[in-house]
Copies of this chain bind each other. A is one copy, B any other.
Amino acid sequence: MAIPRLTEIERDDALKGLPGWTLSEDGLAIEIELEFGDFNEAFGFMARVALYADKADHHPEWFNVYNKVRVRLTTHDAGGLSARDVAMAQFIDGIV
């Protein structure tokens, strides 16, 4: 069961509400690079997102080193961005 992919208009509208997030070069994902005070804070953030992800059954691609976390959101089943990515980005913005 495929998840609907956002149209370009929906995508651009969503990005307007997500300052700090950038569209990946291929247009299939949104990305953000976050910096925290230390590793404890960075991983604390990741733990909160992980609980959300597990519940929503929607998972980030992310990289962490010390106090930095790079997050990339895309929906493989949609072949690009879906409403699930926007919802996760909003959740992330809400806790950062």
B59 touches A62 (CB 8 A): no
Q: Is A87 an interface residue (CB 8 A)?
A: no
Given the known interface contacts A61-B64, A65-B59, the answer about A43 and B50 at a Cβ–Cβ threshold of 8 Å is: yes
How far apart are the CA atoms of A63 and B71 in the complex, in Å? 10
Quickly give the copy total for this chain.
Answer: 2
Number of interface residues of A (CB under 8 A): 16
Write out the residue numbers on chain B whose beta carbons fall within 8 Å of the beta carbon of A66.
Answer: 59
A65 touches B54 (CB 8 A): no
**Sample of 16 A–B contacts (CB below 8 Å):** A43-B47, A43-B50, A43-B53, A43-B54, A46-B46, A46-B50, A47-B47, A59-B65, A59-B66, A60-B64, A60-B65, A61-B63, A61-B64, A62-B63, A63-B63, A63-B64
